[in-house]
Structures are given as structure tokens and as C-alpha cells.
């Protein structure tokens, strides 16, 4: 059975920087830089320009990851894309990424499968488990796994939506999960979900149980009330469960793999709130130098946070071959996951 390792990483964030102060000044939101920094650690985030879709950000990150792995798009056997901000309701964004990468062009086009993952902030860890399983089963050699989000086009950018829109940013991270006979790679994971809290962080937009899924006006245009249109979050409930589930998930994967806290060189925690992560680190006795973060620059990029951090850490030399790393995520669903990788 081959091992599955990460042979390349890449990331892309759109160039437009939106500071906390700009949320107040440019969007007229009743907020302050101090309020956001104190509660979340976020100082700025990136927003895409009109016309830019999640598959566009994903494509940039994918090309960087392929280059880092020394591979070309012809080497990819499967695309897995995790997002909660898809290009459109259907088809999935994985096929748009395939098209955007030009993977259907030329006589040697392989028309590889494209799988979308819908597990919000836990999407990358869920996707990693799927990719590793497929590689370890011996079926596939190289899988392109991407976490990408374009939140800025679908948030309530008013004071009404300030508890959500001040947290999220756009960006994409990609990894190549490859087969190897070397003794390294993705060692194991722990995943979970608690549907009792499915409505604690959600964006319903349409309810398929209703006929029609939203009311129509006389011209047949859908009417979407703000309660359905925009994401809703019970921040305090999310905070409490994030702390509990991230700790549990990390401890479970460590126990399963017999990994001790001090064996782990770097902890890549999902970037939802710096305070959540600092609290967990304190509870578990993890020193701050083992806890990379970029939330202050990018906000919460949901499925993108962990692969963006991996790519940044590899490029700035923090993450090196031979290290043992842990990843932990928590998000809407609620869903959560942790994984351990020998880099
Ligand atoms: C979102 C979060 C920062 C809010 O902090 P909080 O102390 O729980 O604040 P609350 O939601 O109780 O709101 C308190 C007040 O602050 C206000 N507020 C919310 N966002 C604000 C903002 N950006 N600026 C100013 N005030 C804001 C609320 O409207 C509320 O005002 P009110 O008392 O007049 O109604 C915090 O709950 C949190 O980080 N939770 C976890 C969120 C998360 O991780 N989400 C992603 C999961 S993947």
C-alpha cells in the first residue's frame, strides 16, 4: 500500500486589501478596528474584484501547487475542491476549476473526475482524508486538492451583517496529494459532525423543501428575504463548540497515532478567530512559536485557511521536510476534523 504525501503546495489571495477601517469608512458598517482586532485578531482581509469566481482563485493556487510539486496538469488524476462559496448552485466548482486549468484541451486530455466537498471550514481536512484514502488504496497517483472561497460577493456588507462580514475573506490554497513508497505522509485523521447545530451557522438562500424554493413575483423572479439571503451565525455558540471539538479532535487523532504533543513541530489551526486558537493552545500547552497564523492578514478564508498556511509556511521556510505537523479545523455543520502528517 503506497503512502500519501503532500508533494506540493500553493496559494493565491486577490490583491485588493480591505482593512477593518475600510469596513467602517467605505461600506458604512458600524464597527471599529479595535472591536474586530480585540475579539478576532483580524486586521485586514482580501476581497475579489467583480467577475472573479472561486474557481479563478482555485486555479491560481492549483498552478502554484503543481509547479511546486514539479508536475503539470496532465499528471493530475482527480480534482477535489472544497468550498462553501461555489461559482453557482450547480454544477460543482470542481468542474469549473478543471475547465479553468485547461484540463479538457488537447488530444491527451484525460477528463479526470472532479469532486466537490461541502464541509465549510472543515472542508480541507475532510478533503485530505478522501484524497489520502484514494492514493493509499493504490488507485491514483496525484490528486489536486483545493480549498477556495469568494466570500466577499455573498456577504451582507451592512451593519446588520457585521458579525459575519467582518470575519471572512477571499483566498485559495491547494496541495497535491501524491503516492510514495517512502515512509512519510498523511498518517491519519479524525472527523466529526454534530447536526444539532446545523442552523447555528448557515446561509439558506433557498429551501428546497418549499415549493417553489423561494417565493416568486409576477414575472417569475425569485424573492429572497434577508433572513434567507445572508449567512447567520450564533457567534457565542460557534466559539464554545469550536474550542471543545478542536481539542477533542486533535487529542483523538494523537491518541490513535500515538503522537505526543511535543512530537508535533507545527500546529495548523483553522483561522476563524485568533482568540479561539490562543485559548486552545493555552489549554493544551502548545507554545506560540508552533502555531502559525495569518488571520490578521486574510481573515477567515474557510476551506482555504489551512492550505494557504501550509503554502506560506513552506515558502518562508517554517515548514520543512521531516517535520511532524497537525491540522485542526471546525466549522458550519457543525463539522470538524484533525489530521497528522509527516512532511
Ligand atoms: C463573532 C464574534 C467575534 C462576536 O463576538 P461576541 O462577543 O460573541 O459578540 P456578540 O455576537 O454577542 O455580539 C455582541 C455585540 O457586538 C456587536 N457586533 C458584532 N459584530 C460586530 C462588529 N464587527 N463590530 C462592532 N460590533 C459588532 C453585535 O451586534 C452585538 O451588539 P448588540 O449587543 O448591540 O446586539 C465571536 O462570537 C466569535 O468569534 N465567534 C466565533 C465565530 C467563528 O469562529 N466563526 C467561524 C466559524 S468557522
Number of neighbours of residue 185 by Cβ within 10 angstroms: 21
* Cα(212) to centroid(ligand 1), Å: 33
Residue 208 lies in a domain: no
Do 77 and 162 share a domain, yes or no? yes
Do 24 and 104 share a domain, yes or no? yes
Residue 59 lies in a domain: yes
Q: Would you name the residues annotated as active-site residues?
A: 121, 270, 300
Do 173 and 306 share a domain, yes or no? no
Examine the fold and report which residue of 150, 183, 216 is the final residue of a domain before the chain moves on. 183
pLDDT grade for 27, boundaries at 50, 70 and 90: very high
Give CA–CA dist 196/213, Å, rounded.
Answer: 23
Dig out the grid coordinates for 72 from the structure.
Answer: 503539470
The domain that holds 272 is classified in CATH as 3.40.47.10
Looking at residue 294, its pLDDT comes to: 97
Do 109 and 162 share a domain, yes or no? yes
Decide if pLDDT at 11 tops 90.
yes
Do 169 and 243 share a domain, yes or no? no
Residue 221 lies in a domain: no
Residue 204 lies in a domain: no
Do 152 and 246 share a domain, yes or no? no
Closest C-alpha residue for ligand 1 atom 31: 163
**pTM score above 0.95:** yes
Do 190 and 143 share a domain, yes or no? no
Looking at residue 167, its pLDDT comes to: 98
Looking at residue 118, its pLDDT comes to: 96
Looking at residue 214, its pLDDT comes to: 87
Residue 163 lies in a domain: yes
Do 130 and 164 share a domain, yes or no? yes
* Cα(163) to centroid(ligand 1), Å: 5
Residue 179 lies in a domain: yes
Do 72 and 138 share a domain, yes or no? yes
Kindly state the percentage of the chain with pLDDT values over 70.
Answer: 100
Examine the fold and report which residue of 156, 183, 210 is the final residue of a domain before the chain moves on. 183
**Residue 269 lies in domain:** 186-199+231-342
What is the best residue among 163, 271, 303 to mutate for testing ligand 1's pocket, by most ligand atoms within 8 Å of CB?
163
The CA R_g of the chain, rounded to the nearest whole Å, is: 20
What is the best residue among 169, 202, 231, 235 to mutate for testing ligand 1's pocket, by most ligand atoms within 8 Å of CB?
235
Residues with CB under 6 A from ligand 1: 31, 35-36, 39-40, 121, 162-163, 166-167, 233, 235-236, 238-239, 242, 272-273, 276, 300, 331
Looking at residue 9, its pLDDT comes to: 98
* Cα(166) to centroid(ligand 1), Å: 9
Do 177 and 306 share a domain, yes or no? no
Closest C-alpha residue for ligand 1 atom 48: 331
- According to DSSP, the β-strands at 232-233 and 266-269 are unpaired
pLDDT grade for 169, boundaries at 50, 70 and 90: very high
Closest C-alpha residue for ligand 1 atom 43: 272
Distances (CA, A) of 84 to 69, 112, 319: 27, 22, 28
The answer to whether the CB of 120 falls within 8 A of the CB of 331 is yes
pLDDT grade for 108, boundaries at 50, 70 and 90: confident
Looking at residue 138, its pLDDT comes to: 93
Each residue of 35-92: pLDDT tens digit?
999 999 999 999 999 999 999 999 999 999 999 999 999 999 999 999 999 999 999 9
Do 282 and 137 share a domain, yes or no? no
How many structural domains is the chain composed of?
A: 2
Do 148 and 193 share a domain, yes or no? no
Looking at residue 202, its pLDDT comes to: 96
Residue 136 lies in a domain: yes
Dig out the grid coordinates for 39 from the structure.
Answer: 475579539
Residue 172 lies in a domain: yes
* Cα(235) to centroid(ligand 1), Å: 6
Distances (CA, A) of 220 to 214, 224, 225: 11, 13, 16
Decide if pLDDT at 207 tops 90.
no
Amino acid at each position: 500500500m503506497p503512502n500519501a504525501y503532500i508533494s506540493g503546495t500553493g496559494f493565491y489571495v486577490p490583491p485588493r486589501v480591505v482593512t477593518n477601517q475600510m469596513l467602517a469608512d467605505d461600506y458604512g458598517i458600524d464597527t471599529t478596528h479595535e472591536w474586530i482586532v480585540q475579539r478576532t485578531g483580524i486586521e485586514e482581509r482580501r476581497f475579489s474584484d467583480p467577475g472573479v469566481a472561486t474557481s479563478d482563485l482555485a486555479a491560481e493556487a492549483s498552478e502554484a501547487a503543481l509547479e511546486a510539486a514539479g508536475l503539470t496538469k496532465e499528471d493530475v488524476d482527480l480534482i477535489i475542491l472544497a468550498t462553501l462559496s461555489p461559482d453557482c448552485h450547480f454544477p460543482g466548482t470542481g468542474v469549473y476549476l478543471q475547465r479553468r486549468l485547461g484540463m479538457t484541451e488537447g488530444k491527451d486530455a484525460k477528463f479526470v473526475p472532479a469532486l466537490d466537498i461541502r464541509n465549510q471550514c472543515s472542508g480541507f481536512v475532510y478533503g485530505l482524508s478522501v484524497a489520502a484514502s484514494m492514493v493509499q488504496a493504490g488507485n491514483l497517483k496525484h490528486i489536486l486538492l483545493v480549498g477556495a472561497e469568494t466570500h466577499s460577493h455573498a456577504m451582507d456588507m451592512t451593519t446588520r451583517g457585521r458579525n459575519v462580514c467582518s470575519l471572512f475573506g477571499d483566498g485559495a490554497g491547494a496541495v497535491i496529494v501524491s503516492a510514495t513508497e517512502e515512509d512519510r505522509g498523511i498518517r491519519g485523521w479524525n472527523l466529526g459532525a454534530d447536526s444539532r447545530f446545523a442552523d447555528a451557522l448557515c446561509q439558506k438562500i433557498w429551501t428546497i423543501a418549499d415549493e417553489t424554493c423561494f417565493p416568486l413575483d409576477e414575472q417569475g423572479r425569485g424573492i429572497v428575504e434577508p433572513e434567507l439571503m445572508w449567512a447567520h451565525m450564533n457567534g457565542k455558540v460557534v466559539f464554545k463548540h469550536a474550542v471543545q471539538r478542536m481539542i477533542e479532535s486533535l487529542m483523538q487523532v494523537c491518541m490513535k497515532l500515538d503522537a505526543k504533543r511535543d512530537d508535533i513541530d507545527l500546529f495548523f489551526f483553522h483561522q476563524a478567530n485568533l482568540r479561539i486558537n490562543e485559548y486552545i493552545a493555552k489549554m493544551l500547552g502548545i507554545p506560540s512559536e508552533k502555531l502559525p497564523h495569518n488571520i490578521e492578514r486574510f481573515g477567515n478564508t474557510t476551506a482555504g485557511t489551512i492550505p494557504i498556511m501550509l503554502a506560506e509556511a513552506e515558502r518562508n521556510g517554517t515548514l520543512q521536510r521531516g517535520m511532524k505537523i497537525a491540522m485542526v479545523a471546525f466549522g458550519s455543520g457543525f463539522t470538524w476534523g484533525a489530521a497528522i502528517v509527516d512532511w
